[in-house]
Structure 1
Amino acid sequence: MARMTAQGSGSARPTRQKRQQQIVDHVLAKGDATVAELTELTGVSLMTVHRDIAELADRGILRKYHGGVSAQPSTVFESSSDFRLHAHPGEKGALAREALGFLTPGMSLMLDDSTTALALAKLLPQVGPLTVVTNYRLITEELRAADDIRLILVGGEYSRTHDSWIGLSALEMIKSFSVDVTVVSTSAMTSEMTFHQEQEIVAIKRAMREAGALSVLLMDHSKVGRSALHRLDPVSSFDHVVLTPPVEDAVLADMRKLTDVRVVGTGEEQVTE
């Protein structure tokens, strides 16, 4: 009888998959959470929550720290693709609409694994025939049914954190291309330098920029005035930088000494030249 009761009470608990999804949804919504908070949320033991957190961290979905877990980026760790998808969607849409102005039918285009590039990918069928090269799974899903898009996927080692293909084979494939336009984003920038937390991603993004005859950097305002562990490329190495406000006037003035910088609003505001 005791065994039947235990089985009955256990069946009322969420499955491991549903419990872990509950944890992920909660952390993505809040940015971070303590172990005690997640234990109360799920109704399971502290040890079970620790196992769930360890597995989710190994899969690159969440990041562990002492006493809790986070989806937020730091100077050392980038946030997961799932978290970035929900951050600043209006600003990414504005950046994407501005980036359309650099494209014409028949062009070849390389897009990185940023969610800002994904926002642009959603608009590409408006342009007409294009060849798109990308290492981001979500961009391939977005464009695979678009009739006018010739889609080339960069292969390599799959990263669950970034939901993209990276590594040496991906890097070599990117270096084999020469495209009309490359559009990328990254984690942080100052008025003179761009940054990313992971050296492997730095190599991929740098190779993408070098593969484009024209390079465009798209950055929402939350990334400006910050740095991360690894230097990516100088601001001057990009042909165009597109930002969303607010950006300090002094920072804009310094950037504009180095390259073309445009500031776009999230509504119907005009581009600031």
Structure 2
Amino acid sequence: MKPNPRQLTLLALLQTQGSVTVEQLADKLGVTLQTVRRDVQRLDDEGLLTRFHGGVRVPSSTIENIAHQQRENLHADGKNRIARAVAAAVPSDCSLILNIGTTTEAIARALLHHSGLRVITNNLNVATILSVNPKCEVIVVGGVVRGRDQGIVGEAAVDFIRQFKVDIAIIGISGIEADGSLRDYDFREVKVSQTILSHAREVWLAADSSKFNRPAMVEVGTLAQIDRLFTDAPPPEPFPALLAEAQVRFEVTL
């Protein structure tokens, strides 16, 4: 297809922001929701964008995540709501692991006023954020620093985490597929995340709504390994049934 001028404007907005809701597109383009949905359907059919529940994003890749700075801006409001909800549920005087991701970085900022926390992380951004809290001890995982997002990956990171058993692991994820699998892009990061899952008494997943039905290449685990899910919109089908079957307690931060 050859996009019309309105559709070209829609694509330009998407390239600038990375992800937008249908309501935002209708407002910016000055058209009805029905018109936007028709445009979105046509552009999705052509592979020019990817739809998710309530909005659209740049086309997905199963092998490479989008840049860290762009991810910081995507769904920022939703991530902040998730972060506040997670922080409210975290008790003082407990041990945590926080992994790589912009959502876990938002959670770190929301934990700045907690006391008595011992936090293990393979995310240098999380360590930097929490290091200013004098009532929080931060332990940084050893390993290879991934320059694009300051994540620490590799076998040394796996071996380091194996020494611990924490109260709560708070993890982010790149995608949750319709078979209930949790997925990410870098197999070195996945090995660390798998170790985190097995070295925590509880596992909390923090994932904004765009992560549902988002494909990625490497399986981290399944919903059955998660105790609690924090998200910013009601999960689309078939996830309510999958969450119920896996006995995952989930909280929607509207």
TM range, smaller chain: 0.7 to 0.9
Counterparts of 1:85 and 1:193 in 2: how far apart (Å)?
24
> Does residue 154 of structure 1 match 2:138?
no
Structure 1 residues 30, 260: closer, same or farther in 2, change over 3 A? closer
| Aligned position for 1:120 | 107
Alpha-carbon contact 2:175-2:213 (below 8 Å) kept: yes
Aligned with 1:232: secondary structure?
strand
> Does residue 177 of structure 1 match 2:172?
no
Moved more, 129-138 or 250-259: 250-259
* Aligned counterparts, 1:227-242, within 5 A: 227-242=215-230
| Aligned position for 2:125 | 138
| Aligned position for 1:74 | 61
| Aligned position for 1:204 | 192
| Aligned position for 1:18 | none
TM-fit CA distance, 1:73: 5.5
Unaligned runs of 5+ in 2: 1-13, 19-57
TM-fit CA distance, 1:182: 0.3
Alpha-carbon contact 1:182-1:209 (below 8 Å) kept: yes
Counterparts of 1:231 and 1:164 in 2: how far apart (Å)?
18
> Does residue 264 of structure 1 match 2:252?
yes
Alpha-carbon contact 1:252-1:261 (below 8 Å) kept: no
Structure 1 residues 175, 73: closer, same or farther in 2, change over 3 A? farther
Counterparts of 1:212 and 1:101 in 2: how far apart (Å)?
19
Counterparts of 1:73 and 1:129 in 2: how far apart (Å)?
40
TM-fit CA distance, 1:72: 7.1
| Aligned position for 1:40 | none
Alpha-carbon displacement from aligned partner over 1:208-235 (angstroms, at most 9, x marks no partner)? 1211111001111101022211111010
Structure 1 residues 80, 72: closer, same or farther in 2, change over 3 A? farther
> Does residue 243 of structure 1 match 2:231?
yes
| Aligned position for 2:116 | 129
Alpha-carbon contact 1:182-1:208 (below 8 Å) kept: yes
Equivalent residue in structure 2 for 1:166, among 153, 156, 166? 153
Moved more, 114-123 or 244-253: 244-253
Alpha-carbon contact 1:243-1:261 (below 8 Å) kept: no
Q: TM-score normalized by structure 2?
A: 0.73
Read off the aligned partner of 2:128 and give its amino acid letter: E
Alpha-carbon contact 1:189-1:226 (below 8 Å) kept: yes
TM-fit CA distance, 1:30: 5.2
Give the length in aligned residue pairs.
203
Equivalent residue in structure 2 for 1:225, among 213, 236, 250? 213
Counterparts of 2:241 and 2:218 in 1: how far apart (Å)?
24
Alpha-carbon contact 1:140-1:153 (below 8 Å) kept: yes
TM-fit CA distance, 1:126: 2.5
Counterparts of 2:82 and 2:197 in 1: how far apart (Å)?
18
Aligned with 1:207: secondary structure?
helix
Alpha-carbon displacement from aligned partner over 1:153-203 (angstroms, at most 9, x marks no partner)? 112111012312111111111111111110001110025111112211111
Unaligned runs of 5+ in 1: 1-26, 32-70, 267-273
Moved more, 136-145 or 246-255: 246-255
| Aligned position for 1:94 | 81
Q: TM-score normalized by structure 1?
A: 0.69
Aligned with 1:90: secondary structure?
helix
Between Structure 1 and Structure 2, whose CA radius of gyration is higher? 1
Alpha-carbon contact 2:60-2:214 (below 8 Å) kept: no
Alpha-carbon contact 2:209-2:231 (below 8 Å) kept: yes
Aligned with 1:126: secondary structure?
coil
